Amino acid sequence: MAQKSFRQALNEALHFEMGRDPRVIMMGEDLTGGAGANGVKDAWGGPFGVTRGLLDAFGPERIRDTPISEAAFIGAAAGAALTGLRPIAEIMFVDFAGVCLDQIMNQAAKFRYMFGGRAKTPLVIRATYGAGSRSGSQHTQALYPIFTHIPGLKVVIPSTPYDAKGLLLQAIRDDDPVIFLEHKMLYDTVGEVPDGAYTIPFGEARVARDGKDVLIVAIGRMVQIAEEAARKLAAEGISACIIDPRTTSPLDEDTLLEFTETIGRVVIVDEANPRCSVAADISALLADKCFDALKAPIKLVTAPHAPVPYAPNLEDAYIPSADAVAKAATSIIKR
Amino acid sequence: MPSIEAVTVPKWGMTMTEGKITQWMVGEGDLVTRGQEILEIETTKVTNVVEAAASGTLRRIVLTEGTTAPVGALAGVIADEVATPEEIDAFIESYADRLGGGDEGEGGAAVPRTIVVDGGAINLLEAGPQSDETVVLLHGFGGDLSTWLFNQSALAESMRVVAIDLPGHGASSPIAGGDIFPKIVSAVEAAVEAVAPGKLHLIAHSFGGAVAAAIAANRPSRVASLTLIAPIGLSRQISREFLVDFVAAERRRPLHSVLERLFADPSKITSDMVEGTLRFKRLEGVPEALSAIADTIADDHGGQVQSIGGQLAALTCPVTILWGERDAIVPVPQQADLPANARLRIIPGIGHMPQMEASSAVNEAILENLQRSSGI
């Protein structure tokens, strides 16, 4: 099977679905041009190269460059979704959701509920997230807890090229607003991706690794960190299971509970800030629903409660490390 | 002359490079018999047992529990009582030299490739040295070439072995429309034609058994032997619920419980197996293709649609049929339903997946059938 990058996998999904469904359109900043490109069309393939070739294939009517105003184009995309299109809006950095939160939180997320189920909002908002790229505090946050908190939104955080393609196709075909978050540090990762189309249902966790001594729950880029930690633990004779929820809303509670029941020791790795986080949420779920199966306290390995630093050494220290995950796992096994 | 035999870390599947010794089921000095389960090894994908390749005494444990070692590494030594400790030391030392000199280098791992034939793309995995005759492995309904995880490398020691993903399975493209069974047979025949010019030894599981029987009937002069594992088309009944539930299962948990029915011991099912199955089931066109295939296997009342007894009876090559005693999908047939030229071997305590559940016994039976064909 073909090896493809995370970026290529997303690009394939966009090409496929735009070809299949004429209602799919895209809106965003620099989708067709690019800063300093002097009018060259599709100069960068979008800010991160994800939309390359779409302008040529589908034309400027369906691939629309927007002014630098998230409030305007997210609002326009939400409205377009209500009228029957299936827009994909790209926010360059999820941090910029700050200027269009009303459109997301009070409009798109509420339409179905407030119109008595008579309105559908098939809108996908794609955005990059995450630290590690030396981009400073306003371009690196992991803001999925905010969206996960809001009923009416679905929140998708792929960790592999295979999942990126299948989850994006599912997101575009979904009739509710979906926040689709792509970690900048994952774009160049490579994995097996089928050439054909496929969808991965939401609320379906992936068991990334079988193991029996400790369960590591990890999201997005943290799945890689968990895998590195699992290899370190294996060298010490500890066998770690890894579960990637893939979507935080809906959340696959059944799989998390099933594996916690069997394994009894849990470490949750989350790149987001710790307060009111997905890690805290999953931890509360497990403590509530399978307290009696727990053999040790649930350990959370997260970023500190601080903005992402710009200094490279501090930024590196900010991101949960494989060593920290392995240490947390060891601490609840050898107690 | 003392007899000294190595117990090594086996290669289970194309991506396995190392394994972890999780448990020795016998201790140093214990007597072991050929085929006895002596060692449990875990990889990131599977845990399975290694069986003794020879009878004798486990004279030395080289890799202790908890150790991780590359494929081919010496894990222990089985020898008779005549062998002196010095001879065993020398054997272990000679083994250390051998490791790394083999052809199992990092870059040498086999990868599947896809060939295009009339009827679509066929994914296949080749292993073993070039040989005039080729062993062809055909999996069952809902499976893929990874069903031969514990068999392909073992069979490929002296011959070329090609495992094929049937259309609508694994990474082969689905076939649509009517007449799906003959279309599958001709797509597989075309793929075999393209990669295996000489005589064929067909090894097939379950639904693949009907495909293999059809190929053998179409070109009897090409087929040197046939080994069928719990094939369809011989027993009268089949679990239609399994087929229907398998097609319907779109998520991990329901699929896991469907797959459990295949095994006498469901702990053999790994998350990788479930995820791998979901991956091809999710591909566009595959659920429809699987439904169409299911209809060529079972009727609405759980009766079998295919019948291969007549095709087998007409063959002159050796035909061996292996069956798990506790098969809950395709029950062991009545003796009266078997053609007279087929040898039936029932493996006790095993379900519908003998090639995974009792891989050593299956590999041995396959090799035996291969030898019968050459008249040795």
Check A194 against B20: CB less than 8 A apart: no
A204 CB neighbours in chain B (<8 A) are: 251-252
Amino acid code (one letter) for A54: L
- H or E element at residue B347: strand B342-347
Question: Which chain A residues in 271-330 lie under 8 Å from chain B, judged by CB atoms?
Answer: none
φ and ψ at residue B68, rounded to 5 degrees: -110, 135
Residue B121 corresponds to which amino acid?
A
When pLDDT is cut at 50, 70 and 90, the band that residue B376 belongs to is very low
Nearest to B283 among A194, A237, A239 (CB): A194
Residue B108: its pLDDT value, please?
A: 45
pLDDT > 70? residue B99: no
d(C-alpha A207, C-alpha B269), whole Å: 13
Dist. CA A95–CA A129, nearest whole Å: 8
Give the model's pLDDT for residue A297: 97
For residue B284, give the nearest of A198, A234, A239 by CB distance: A198
CA B182, B188, B194, B199 torsion-angle sign: negative
B66 alpha-carbon distance from chain centroid: 28
Mean pLDDT score of chain A: 96
> What chain A residue is nearest to B64 in terms of C-alpha separation?
A237
Distance in angstroms (rounded) separating the CA atoms of residues B345 and B361: 10
**Is B171 within 8 Å of chain A by CB?**
yes
Q: Is the pLDDT of residue B96 over 80?
A: no
CA distance B297 to B376: 37
CA B78 to chain centre: 26
Interchain proximity A204–B252, CB inside 8 Å: yes
B20 and chain A in contact, CB less than 8 A: yes
Distance from CA of A198 to the nearest CA of B (A): 4
Q: How many CB pairs under 8 A join A and B?
A: 47
Task: Considering only the beta carbons, identify the residue of A199, A234, A237 that sits closest to B282.
Answer: A199
Identity of the residue in B42, B68, B271 whose CB atom sits nearest the CB atom of A207 = B271
Place of tokens 């379906």: A204
Q: Which residues of A touch B45 (CB under 8 A)?
A: 210
Cβ distance A197 to B271 less than 8 Å, yes or no, reads: no
Question: What pLDDT does residue B103 have?
Answer: 44
Residues of A with catalytic annotation?
139
Within 8 A by CB and 6+ apart from B195, the residues are: B115, B124, B126, B134, B162
In the predicted structure, residue B49 carries a pLDDT above the cut 90 = no
Contact A210 B252 (CB under 8 A): no
Which of the two residues, B86 and A172, has the higher pLDDT score?
A172
**Does residue B173 register a pLDDT over 60?**
yes
Residue B43 confidence (pLDDT) above 90: no
Helix (H) or strand (E) holding A128: strand A124-129
pLDDT tens digits, one per residue of A226-265: 999 999 999 888 999 999 999 999 999 999 999 999 999 9
Helix (H) or strand (E) holding B98: helix B85-98
Q: Which of A123-127, A235-239, B3-7, B12-16 has the highest mean pLDDT?
A: A123-127
Lowest mean pLDDT among A32-36, B20-24, B184-188, B228-232: A32-36
Q: Establish if A204 touches chain B: CB-CB under 8 angstroms.
A: yes
Q: Is A243 on the interface with B (CB under 8 A)?
A: no
Q: From CA B61, how far away is CA B49, in angstroms rounded?
A: 16
Q: Would the CB atoms of B251 and A204 count as touching at under 8 Å?
A: yes
Tens-digit pLDDT profile for residues A19-50: 999 999 999 999 987 766 777 788 888 889 99
**Average pLDDT score over residue span A8-29:** 98
Q: Give the pTM.
A: 0.87
| Residue A237 contacts B, CB cutoff 8 Å | yes
DSSP A89-117: EEEEEGGGGGGSHIIIIIIITTHHHHTTT
**Least-confidence region, from A70-84, A209-223, B167-181:** B167-181
Is the pLDDT at B11 greater than 90? The verdict is no
Which of B252, B268, B270 is best to mutate for the A interface (most A CBs within 10 A)?
Answer: B252
Using the Cβ of B134 and the Cβ atoms of chain A, whether some distance falls under 8 Å is answered with no
B208 or B130: which leads in pLDDT = B208
ipTM given for this complex: 0.90
Of the listed ranges A12-26, A36-50, A275-289, B125-139, the one predicted with least confidence: A36-50
**A7 has pLDDT over 80:** yes
Rounded percentage of chain B residues whose pLDDT exceeds 70: 94
Q: What is the average per-residue pLDDT within B15-34?
A: 87
pLDDT surpasses 70 at B119: yes
Which is higher by pLDDT, A298 or B7? A298
Chain A interface includes B274 (CB < 8 A): yes
* Residue B197, token pair as written in the block: 């010019």
Distance (Å, whole) CA B43 – CA B35: 21
Lowest average pLDDT, out of A120-124, A286-290, A303-307, B10-14, goes to: B10-14
Distance from CA of B207 to the nearest CA of A (A): 24
* Pairing status of strand A206-209 against strand A240-244: antiparallel
A236/B contact by beta carbon, under 8 A: no
pLDDT band at B98 (very low <50, low <70, confident <90, very high): low
Query: Residue B100: its pLDDT value, please?
Result: 44
Q: What is the pLDDT of residue B101?
A: 40
Q: Does residue B66 sit at the A interface (CB-CB below 8 Å)?
A: yes
Mean pLDDT of chain B: 89
User: Is the CB of B252 less than 8 angstroms away from the CB of A255?
Assistant: yes
Beta bridge partners of B115: B122
Question: pLDDT category, B2, cuts 50, 70, 90?
Answer: confident
Residue in chain B nearest A166 by alpha carbon:
B282
- Per residue in A152-162, pLDDT (tens digit) is 999 999 999 99
CB contact under 8 A, A255 and B279: no
Strands (DSSP E) contained in A193-232 are 206-209, 214-218
Q: Using a pLDDT cut of 90, give the percent of chain B over it.
A: 62
Q: What pLDDT score was predicted for residue A310?
A: 96
3-class secondary-structure state, position B247:
helix
The per-residue pLDDT for B308 is: 95
pLDDT tens figures, B271-316: 988 999 999 899 998 999 999 999 999 999 989 999 999 999 999 9
Examine the pLDDT at B9 and tell me if it is beyond 90: no
Q: What is the pLDDT of residue B330?
A: 96
pLDDT tens digits, one per residue of A186-239: 999 999 999 999 999 999 999 999 999 999 999 999 999 999 999 999 988 899
Percentage with pLDDT > 70 across chain A: 99
Cβ of residue B285 closer than 8 Å to a chain A Cβ: yes
